[in-house]
Structure 1
């Protein structure tokens, strides 16, 4: 079993902590016991008990080398190809054959210790996903007919009501039906500050209810919660290998064959060409087996990749695989959807300009009265604004919806029209308030006109407000040398105003979903590696077309499924953070590869000139392996 498969094993939940701890440290315990047997063998040899000494060494071989030999043999049979574990086994057996029992045993001991440390350090990079799995609630208080019953979360159904008490983890995704509280959502979003939640607010499984008792209506079964999706995504990402890792593993098989060929030549050539003794020739061939083994090279990439994926998961950035994390370091350009990505996704009233002699409160009361029965986003924004100003309004006496243009209604005994310029009369609309509507439109705002029996009564300007962190996110991307583009369905004027406000490099307006795909293909032709950031169903084709699809965590399920990277908290600056993480991983991998190859070459040269013996060769070889793993684990840090 390779280290990655071993990493993804999960202890059986019914095992006690003691048994689980022993199992997780079995390799290290065997290595230590092997070391004690080697010490005993050496002491027996010093006291002339050679037979007992050899017996002790054989036990050390068997106990210390069992795990690695078993792993090597199983992989060789499965892959039909020799691997580095088999090289170590051959070297140890060869050393024993020529009487170097101590050196062979030390090789097995250090190799066993190295393997145990590798397993330990790899498990350390798996800590985030393990801790996520540990905090999954298993039971919930189901409320049925006024009574509370403790049930397993797997039995909960959509529509059930559950009680969550202070200090408990929320067991299922849902909405609050009664009560209010503050919730720690760090497990989902990475945000350390608690969030206040009221009735109708959405809550997620795995988060912690801090202050008040709340009743929650379940909206998703336990297998489909956002929390479970995070676990599934991270597990999937950690089991998927990056292109570099796949190349190294493919290279390993060829390299092992080359080493075995070189060792076979080394067993004979130096004896005839350089006059070495047969014992020295064979011994140097065994040393070559050890020092030329590509353990450090093989371990150069995977620990770094897993550490970076775990780091991202801890900070609200989910990578669906090492390939996407690796590709991010090559990113040249990034395209953004506008609505819900660069902007908040819902329009807000920014200006209300009324006709002389008419009060703003009176106008808003009438407008909200008529718009209150419309589902149009602009209508809802006007109603929200009116409520926010504490202006009362009532239901209209009559209402007619004119599709695509506006609404016509009667309120307070008077006829009103609310809609676009075409609906109320373009000439009058553009002339109102000295042409103020044109000025508002130029600044990227949408204008809605209110008309009564006397003509245009008011113009209300609305805007899909820019997210607070959008400018910061784009500034960080520019610092990384990334070219930024906005793809939006808005008209040219609105798109230009927004692009200038947030400092985008360029924009493409009036894009339908299929147009976004076409534009992305053209961008890829120019910039090679292009990412797309979106949140809606209509963004899914573009997310799939881009080299890297990045979805907002609060977006549609289709966008989440299609994307390669997910920002759990809709935090745009995290994109630049992910790019820096990817570039740092690339640097560390490069350091590891150069270092491991350099050490292998130095050890091979030292062996040829007979200045290094087997124990030091083992220390140099295994030490370099441990160092590259620890270097990769630096990515676990923020």
Structure 2
């Protein structure tokens, strides 16, 4: 390899390395700042004062650069001081009176909080990118009998596009030719593919499973349902929480009040109480240090981190303290059905065979035929047969797949048809087994019928069954006075059956993603704090707009990224456990805040009456910080 090529390779590797660490720059700066504080303390301990001050100065600059830059820029833009500026002044004030460690620790704590905030923002951008990747970039346009691939963005209303088996549909439209089964999980979240044919609507981002279809575009690429999902996620994430808005309103007043009192402390005692300038400056600097919100910050962050660590040990991944805090005031919780309350895949619940037929033989042959299909219902039948029978499946003599209907096959002299009711005859299917089909359908089952040599011979019922732990989880939440709701894209009949099995208080069926968002908004109008639990792409907007979004660990990447809390083991009872943890955390935070404010007020009063010297002020200030941290660490215990 030439020297130029090596140089270029090294440059590319360098740029790649910088790009990788860039999102973690603030966290790295905070860590370096912490190490420098330890180094400064050690130098000071061994009377190496110059090196100690240099280490502390570097800790100030490296740890405080990002927050200082942010504070100065916001002050300039908003023409109002903020907490970032107060922390900078407090740290500088500590250094002026010779207490470098105090100032450096203040900078370190603030640097860590800034790093966590940046990390959350980066996650937000990542989840939108994940959504965007699911919509095809190109479409196969049919014009004057000629096929041509064009960018999806260039599609116009009225264009006709060809979508082949296995491809994602690039735009919302209407089928004008062909029949197929479509996986609409990206839109409705439902595991059961939907059979669609002429003049039926299809959505961008869904998957064409079986037959080729020609689709007439009905919406511009920017107006598709899938694009609306992306817009809803972006809109919901840009909304600020009530606590965040309160802090933003409060911080300007707090900073002005503290700085005003510090300035007054510098002048008024000198003229009214005959203090010397040195004494006034000394007392003003002590005030700036003891009035800094170091203890208040320590009241919340260690408690939050301890609670989050506790949750992680029990399979509850919380992405930020505010989300765990909100759980304590939870009044209502909405659940997606498929993959959340249910297992998310169809299972055979019942096999009914005509009298005189061998049940095992029929199931064996039916599974042998269905084994040649990738349809989820077919695979569920195959799985069930393999569990029930200890026999190798055979190969049909002939087989024909009819997208949207079912399958035809021949085994010896037998001619088989397996599929939906209309495929074998609607009237015969409804009358089969004394009308058992209607009863099973009312319980949320999907029915597959088997016809042999023209005679309806069997009916197989399949259902996305409710998780074993679902009832326990719902009952635990209801005991805490939390209202439970199920939101699903499934039919009214299926939704009603699953809701009854799950013990939820209320359900809404046939919900598209935007309708789930509307239901969440309605719940938020009725209840103070509302959570949403889901696992699919279609749940992302609702997860984002809820006060607390909770995703199942086996869910889609987008749901995991959008949610505030992730149940790593899909264990729904962990939600009630998370609520209890939140209540413990908020109780300890309240204790810490009351204690730290009381200490700050006592130190300020003692300083004003000249009863407090700087060493005791530092001991009181740092001592209160240590005590609230120790109190917070109690949350690490189960």
TM-score (norm 1): 0.64
Task: Single out whichever of 260-269 and 616-625 deviates more from structure 2.
Answer: 260-269
Residues 531 and 548, structure 2, Cα contact 8 Å, conserved in 1: yes
Is residue 477 of structure 2 the alignment partner of residue 477 of structure 1? yes
User: Where in structure 2 are the equivalents of 1:347-366 lying within 5 Å?
Assistant: 347-366=346-365
Is residue 40 of structure 2 the alignment partner of residue 30 of structure 1? yes
Residues 40 and 52, structure 2, Cα contact 8 Å, conserved in 1: no
Is residue 292 of structure 2 the alignment partner of residue 298 of structure 1? no
Task: Single out whichever of 81-90 and 614-623 deviates more from structure 2.
Answer: 81-90
TM-aligned CA distance change 1:448 to 1:110, over 3 Å: closer
In the TM superposition, residue 282 of structure 1 has moved relative to its aligned partner by 5.3
User: Where in structure 2 are the equivalents of 1:510-525 lying within 5 Å?
Assistant: 510-525=510-525
| 1: CA distance, partners of 2:108 / 2:86 | 19
In the TM superposition, residue 503 of structure 1 has moved relative to its aligned partner by 0.9
In the TM superposition, residue 276 of structure 1 has moved relative to its aligned partner by 5.7
Cα displacement string for residues 48-88 of structure 1 (whole angstroms, at most 9, x for unaligned residues): xxxxxxxx9x8699478646665798565763364345335
TM-aligned CA distance change 1:492 to 1:355, over 3 Å: same
User: Where in structure 2 are the equivalents of 1:423-434 lying within 5 Å?
Assistant: 423-434=423-434
Match of residue 186 from structure 1: none
Residues 345 and 464, structure 2, Cα contact 8 Å, conserved in 1: yes
Match of residue 498 from structure 2: 498
Residues 341 and 533, structure 1, Cα contact 8 Å, conserved in 2: yes
Cα displacement string for residues 376-396 of structure 1 (whole angstroms, at most 9, x for unaligned residues): 222222222212222444222
TM-aligned CA distance change 1:297 to 1:446, over 3 Å: same
| 1: CA distance, partners of 2:485 / 2:637 | 32
Cα displacement string for residues 348-379 of structure 1 (whole angstroms, at most 9, x for unaligned residues): 22222222221211221232233222332222
TM-aligned CA distance change 1:409 to 1:29, over 3 Å: closer
What is the aligned residue count? 481
Cα displacement string for residues 284-316 of structure 1 (whole angstroms, at most 9, x for unaligned residues): 444433333332123333344444445545544
Match of residue 563 from structure 1: 563
In structure 1, stretches of 5+ residues that fail to align are: 12-19, 38-55, 94-103, 127-240
Is residue 263 of structure 2 the alignment partner of residue 264 of structure 1? yes
Residues 31 and 63, structure 1, Cα contact 8 Å, conserved in 2: no
Which secondary structure state, in structure 2, belongs to the residue aligned with residue 300 of structure 1?
helix
In the TM superposition, residue 494 of structure 1 has moved relative to its aligned partner by 2.4
In the TM superposition, residue 628 of structure 1 has moved relative to its aligned partner by 3.0
In the TM superposition, residue 515 of structure 1 has moved relative to its aligned partner by 3.6
TM-aligned CA distance change 1:522 to 1:294, over 3 Å: closer
TM-aligned CA distance change 1:300 to 1:395, over 3 Å: same
Is residue 534 of structure 2 the alignment partner of residue 534 of structure 1? yes
| 2: CA distance, partners of 1:387 / 1:88 | 70
TM-aligned CA distance change 1:92 to 1:509, over 3 Å: closer
User: Where in structure 2 are the equivalents of 1:29-428 lying within 5 Å?
Assistant: 29-34=39-44, 37=47, 62=53, 66=57, 70=61, 79-80=71-72, 82-84=85-87, 86-87=89-90, 89-90=92-93, 93=96, 107-108=99-100, 254-270=253-269, 272-274=271-273, 283-388=282-387, 389-428=389-428
| 2: CA distance, partners of 1:423 / 1:73 | 71
User: Which of 27, 40, 50 lines up with 1:8 in the alignment?
Assistant: 27
Match of residue 507 from structure 1: 507
| 2: CA distance, partners of 1:635 / 1:307 | 5
Residues 118 and 629, structure 1, Cα contact 8 Å, conserved in 2: no
| 2: CA distance, partners of 1:409 / 1:110 | 81
Task: Single out whichever of 600-609 and 314-323 deviates more from structure 2.
Answer: 314-323
Cα displacement string for residues 191-210 of structure 1 (whole angstroms, at most 9, x for unaligned residues): xxxxxxxxxxxxxxxxxxxx
Which secondary structure state, in structure 2, belongs to the residue aligned with residue 289 of structure 1?
helix
In structure 2, stretches of 5+ residues that fail to align are: 1-22, 73-80, 118-239
Residues 490 and 510, structure 1, Cα contact 8 Å, conserved in 2: yes
Match of residue 588 from structure 1: 588
Residues 64 and 108, structure 1, Cα contact 8 Å, conserved in 2: no
Residues 27 and 111, structure 2, Cα contact 8 Å, conserved in 1: no
TM-score (norm 2): 0.64
Q: CA RMSD in A?
A: 4.2
In the TM superposition, residue 620 of structure 1 has moved relative to its aligned partner by 0.9
